[in-house]
Amino acid sequence: MADSVKELMAAANASVPKITIEEARRLMADGALVIDVRDAPEVAASGKIKGAVNISRGMLEFRADAQTPYHNAELRTDRPIILYCASGGRSALGGKALQDMGYQAVYNLGAFKDWAEAGGETEPG
Protein backbone atom coordinates (compact mmCIF):
# COMPACT_ATOMS: atom_id res chain seq x y z
CA MET A 1 0.00 0.00 0.00
CA ALA A 2 1.31 3.43 -0.92
CA ASP A 3 2.09 6.05 1.68
CA SER A 4 -0.50 8.74 2.27
CA VAL A 5 0.33 12.41 1.80
CA LYS A 6 0.26 12.75 5.58
CA GLU A 7 2.91 10.02 5.90
CA LEU A 8 5.01 11.47 3.10
CA MET A 9 4.89 14.90 4.73
CA ALA A 10 5.83 13.49 8.13
CA ALA A 11 8.84 11.70 6.64
CA ALA A 12 9.92 14.80 4.71
CA ASN A 13 9.57 17.10 7.71
CA ALA A 14 11.51 14.65 9.88
CA SER A 15 14.35 14.44 7.35
CA VAL A 16 14.68 17.93 5.87
CA PRO A 17 15.71 20.56 8.42
CA LYS A 18 13.41 23.58 8.63
CA ILE A 19 15.50 26.72 8.87
CA THR A 20 14.82 30.28 9.96
CA ILE A 21 15.11 33.33 7.76
CA GLU A 22 18.35 34.26 9.52
CA GLU A 23 19.80 30.80 8.96
CA ALA A 24 18.82 31.06 5.30
CA ARG A 25 20.53 34.42 4.97
CA ARG A 26 23.75 32.97 6.41
CA LEU A 27 23.65 29.99 4.08
CA MET A 28 22.91 32.24 1.11
CA ALA A 29 25.88 34.45 1.99
CA ASP A 30 28.02 31.30 1.93
CA GLY A 31 26.81 30.32 -1.56
CA ALA A 32 23.75 28.16 -1.00
CA LEU A 33 21.44 27.76 -3.97
CA VAL A 34 17.88 28.92 -3.29
CA ILE A 35 15.14 27.12 -5.20
CA ASP A 36 11.53 28.25 -5.47
CA VAL A 37 9.52 25.08 -6.16
CA ARG A 38 6.24 26.87 -6.83
CA ASP A 39 4.66 26.75 -10.28
CA ALA A 40 5.47 29.56 -12.72
CA PRO A 41 2.08 31.34 -12.41
CA GLU A 42 2.54 31.57 -8.62
CA VAL A 43 6.00 33.05 -9.01
CA ALA A 44 4.81 35.49 -11.68
CA ALA A 45 2.00 36.66 -9.40
CA SER A 46 4.06 37.26 -6.25
CA GLY A 47 7.73 37.36 -7.19
CA LYS A 48 10.48 35.27 -5.66
CA ILE A 49 13.43 35.54 -3.29
CA LYS A 50 16.14 37.63 -4.91
CA GLY A 51 18.52 35.32 -6.73
CA ALA A 52 16.35 32.22 -6.37
CA VAL A 53 16.00 29.77 -9.21
CA ASN A 54 12.44 28.73 -10.04
CA ILE A 55 12.19 24.97 -10.58
CA SER A 56 8.64 23.75 -10.20
CA ARG A 57 8.19 20.80 -7.86
CA GLY A 58 7.20 18.62 -10.80
CA MET A 59 10.55 19.16 -12.54
CA LEU A 60 12.87 19.13 -9.53
CA GLU A 61 14.21 15.58 -9.85
CA PHE A 62 14.79 16.04 -13.58
CA ARG A 63 16.73 19.28 -13.02
CA ALA A 64 18.70 17.70 -10.14
CA ASP A 65 19.83 14.59 -12.02
CA ALA A 66 23.02 15.21 -14.01
CA GLN A 67 22.13 12.27 -16.26
CA THR A 68 19.03 13.93 -17.73
CA PRO A 69 18.95 16.50 -20.55
CA TYR A 70 16.97 18.75 -18.19
CA HIS A 71 19.78 19.02 -15.60
CA ASN A 72 20.45 22.44 -14.13
CA ALA A 73 24.20 22.72 -13.54
CA GLU A 74 23.63 24.94 -10.50
CA LEU A 75 22.34 21.86 -8.65
CA ARG A 76 25.33 20.00 -7.26
CA THR A 77 25.31 17.42 -4.50
CA ASP A 78 28.13 19.28 -2.72
CA ARG A 79 26.31 22.66 -2.64
CA PRO A 80 23.84 23.58 0.11
CA ILE A 81 20.31 23.95 -1.21
CA ILE A 82 17.44 25.90 0.32
CA LEU A 83 13.93 25.23 -0.93
CA TYR A 84 10.73 27.17 -0.36
CA CYS A 85 7.18 27.24 -1.72
CA ALA A 86 3.85 28.78 -0.75
CA SER A 87 3.44 27.01 2.60
CA GLY A 88 6.40 24.67 3.11
CA GLY A 89 4.83 21.40 1.97
CA ARG A 90 6.23 21.16 -1.55
CA SER A 91 9.62 22.38 -0.37
CA ALA A 92 9.74 19.64 2.30
CA LEU A 93 8.79 16.95 -0.22
CA GLY A 94 11.26 18.34 -2.74
CA GLY A 95 13.99 18.43 -0.14
CA LYS A 96 13.38 14.80 0.75
CA ALA A 97 13.55 13.85 -2.93
CA LEU A 98 16.89 15.66 -3.26
CA GLN A 99 18.21 13.86 -0.18
CA ASP A 100 17.12 10.55 -1.71
CA MET A 101 19.13 11.53 -4.82
CA GLY A 102 22.31 12.06 -2.80
CA TYR A 103 22.14 15.77 -1.99
CA GLN A 104 23.68 16.26 1.44
CA ALA A 105 22.85 19.76 2.69
CA VAL A 106 19.18 20.41 1.91
CA TYR A 107 17.02 22.83 3.90
CA ASN A 108 13.36 23.87 3.95
CA LEU A 109 12.79 27.60 4.38
CA GLY A 110 9.02 27.14 4.25
CA ALA A 111 6.70 29.83 2.93
CA PHE A 112 7.66 32.62 0.55
CA LYS A 113 5.23 35.00 2.27
CA ASP A 114 7.11 34.63 5.56
CA TRP A 115 10.34 35.68 3.85
CA ALA A 116 8.65 38.65 2.14
CA GLU A 117 6.83 39.76 5.30
CA ALA A 118 10.11 39.66 7.25
CA GLY A 119 11.66 42.10 4.78
CA GLY A 120 13.66 39.56 2.81
CA GLU A 121 14.76 40.77 -0.60
CA THR A 122 12.49 39.75 -3.44
CA GLU A 123 12.40 40.27 -7.19
CA PRO A 124 9.79 39.84 -9.92
CA GLY A 125 9.17 36.27 -10.98
Range of the structural domain that residue 117 is part of = 5-123
pLDDT at 2 over 70: no
Total number of domains constituting the chain: 1
Residue 49's domain is classified under what CATH number? 3.40.250.10
Mean pLDDT of 64-89: 96
Indicate the average pLDDT of the chain. 95
3-58 tens-digit pLDDT: 899 998 999 999 999 999 999 999 999 999 999 999 999 999 999 999 999 999 99
What are the Cα distances from residue 55, in Å, to 79, 117, 118?
Answer: 16, 22, 23
